[in-house]
């Protein structure tokens, strides 16, 4: 496809332009935000993906994307739109030319409402959107390429995800996951008790539903709190951010960062500050309101939230 035909890319002066919005209310429970990246430079750096608690979908048109695994040194180039549930690796993305890229950030654990594939099947590799959702997914990039505005792109995505959304109700397990995501220092046994389960039953149910143990999920969420603050607050210090996220001290943070991501503290900071990032500065307030509604619907819990700072 010749991107010079699309003025919203060809007229760019900067190598990367970003626009972001929330999905409509009927999808906001499941999807955090849509992000448009208009790229007009060969090899333009895209966000670094740390081990995470969620899933990210990339619909793109124009050229290919390359995903480089910092752990293994390997890389994979894809000309097809794909989804990543990255749990255990650090991945650097780059574009191989002018590209229109729509990024869909799913809320932790909520991808399961759009597919019967399990997180265990999907995690740690690229999954073609066509393999996941069939022929209707293959039509999305062409529709995005013909769109003239970001609002049109967002509408195309919303129409698609409403069609593949399954009829399911939020569960108490989702609420426990959200509580752990926002307060990763919470004792797992305490969460199990709040949910009305034994510790062993809760751990089994959590792992079978979300693909990782609650303990690992909490470790990743705590690291992501630090990365989020470093990305959104230029003046924040790494140690200060780590302590606020619930790490005991500097050595605890460095040990966890090395084990989870294989990065030093300075490499973490550079990765989220010198590259674009996917963190949404306006999402937290909505998330907390949504959780309060879930608490009212599913039953009150008595766990205080150590909410990540904006």
Contact between residue 102 and residue 36 where contact means Cβ atoms under 8 Å apart: yes
| Buried/exposed 55-72: b ≥16 CB within 10 Å, e otherwise | bbbbbbbbbebebbbbee
Domain identity same for 130 and 277: no
> What residues are paired with 49 via a beta bridge?
91
Domain identity same for 122 and 38: yes
CA distance 25 to 190: 31
Domain identity same for 112 and 260: no
Alpha helices (H) in the chain, listed in sequence order: 7-10, 25-28, 119-122, 129-133, 135-138, 140-146, 150-164, 172-182, 188-195, 199-210, 214-232, 238-244, 250-261, 265-273, 283-298
Tokens of 123: 């995690």
State the SS3 of 118-182: CHHHHECCEEEHHHHHCHHHHCHHHHHHHCCCHHHHHHHHHHHHHHHCCCCCCCHHHHHHHHHHH
pLDDT at 116: 92
Nearest-10 crossing angle of helices 199-210, 214-232: 60
The upper half-sphere exposure of residue 307, i.e. CA atoms within 13 Å in the direction of its Cβ, equals 10
Domain identity same for 104 and 239: no
Q: Domain containing 286 — which CATH number?
A: 1.10.10.60
Domain that holds residue 247: 172-298
pTM given for the model: 0.86
Domain identity same for 227 and 286: yes
pLDDT at 1: 35
Domain identity same for 190 and 148: no
Contact between residue 8 and residue 27 where contact means Cβ atoms under 8 Å apart: no
pLDDT at 99: 81
Contact between residue 34 and residue 21 where contact means Cβ atoms under 8 Å apart: yes
CA distance 162 to 29: 12
Evaluate whether residue 253 is within a structural domain: yes
Which has the closest alpha carbon to 126: 79, 159, 158, 70? 79
Look at residues 97, 129, 164 and tell me which one is the last residue of a structural domain. Answer: 164
Domain identity same for 85 and 178: no
Evaluate whether residue 232 is within a structural domain: yes
Tokens of 243: 């302590």
CA distance 285 to 95: 32
Look at residues 164, 182, 210 and tell me which one is the last residue of a structural domain. Answer: 164
Taking the chain (310 residues) in consecutive chunks of 10 residues, what is each chunk's mean pLDDT? 36 59 90 88 80 93 90 92 95 87 94 94 95 96 93 96 86 89 90 91 95 96 94 92 93 96 94 84 67 65 51
pLDDT at 41: 65
Evaluate whether residue 305 is within a structural domain: no
Question: First-to-last CA distance in the chain?
Answer: 39
pLDDT at 42: 66
Q: Domain containing 78 — which CATH number?
A: 2.60.120.10
Look at residues 136, 164, 192 and tell me which one is the last residue of a structural domain. Answer: 164
Domain identity same for 102 and 184: no
Evaluate whether residue 126 is within a structural domain: yes
Domain identity same for 101 and 214: no
Evaluate whether residue 303 is within a structural domain: no
Evaluate whether residue 13 is within a structural domain: yes
pLDDT at 80: 94
Domain identity same for 12 and 153: yes
Evaluate whether residue 147 is within a structural domain: yes
Number of domains in the chain: 2
pLDDT at 136: 94
Tokens of 66: 């390359």
Evaluate whether residue 149 is within a structural domain: yes
Domain identity same for 35 and 184: no
Domain identity same for 89 and 196: no
CA distance 90 to 262: 8
């Amino acid at each position: 496809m010749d991107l010079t035909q699309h003025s919203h890319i060809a007229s760019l002066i900067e190598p990367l332009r970003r626009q972001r919005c929330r999905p409509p209310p009927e999808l906001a429970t499941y999807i955090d935000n849509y992000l448009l990246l208009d790229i007009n430079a060969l090899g333009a750096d895209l966000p670094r993906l740390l081990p995470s608690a969620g899933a990210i979908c990339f619909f793109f048109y124009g050229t290919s994307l390359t995903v480089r695994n910092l752990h293994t040194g390997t890389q994979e180039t894809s000309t097809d739109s794909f989804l990543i549930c990255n749990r255990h690796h650090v991945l650097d993305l780059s574009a191989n030319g002018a590209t229109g890229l729509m990024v869909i950030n799913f809320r932790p654990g909520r991808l399961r409402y759009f597919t019967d594939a399990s997180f265990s099947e999907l995690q740690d590799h690229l999954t073609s959107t066509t393999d996941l959702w069939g022929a209707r997914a293959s039509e999305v990039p062409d529709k995005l390429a013909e769109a003239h505005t970001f609002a049109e792109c967002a509408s195309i995505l919303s129409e698609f995800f409403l069609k593949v959304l399954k009829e399911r109700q939020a569960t108490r397990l989702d609420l426990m996951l959200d509580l752990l995501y926002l307060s990763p220092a919470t004792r797992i046994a305490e969460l199990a008790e709040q949910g009305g389960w034994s510790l062993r039953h809760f751990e089994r149910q959590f792992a079978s539903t979300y693909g990782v143990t609650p303990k690992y999920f909490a470790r990743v969420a705590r690291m992501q709190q630090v990365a989020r603050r470093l990305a959104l607050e230029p003046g924040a210090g790494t140690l200060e951010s780590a302590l606020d996220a619930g790490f005991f001290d500097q050595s605890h943070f460095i040990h966890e960062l090395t084990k989870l991501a294989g990065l030093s503290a300075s490499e973490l900071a550079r990765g989220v500050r010198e590259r674009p990032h996917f963190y949404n500065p306006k999402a937290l307030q909505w998330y907390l309101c949504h959780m309060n509604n879930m608490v009212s619907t599913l039953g009150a819990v008595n766990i205080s939230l150590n909410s990540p700072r904006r």
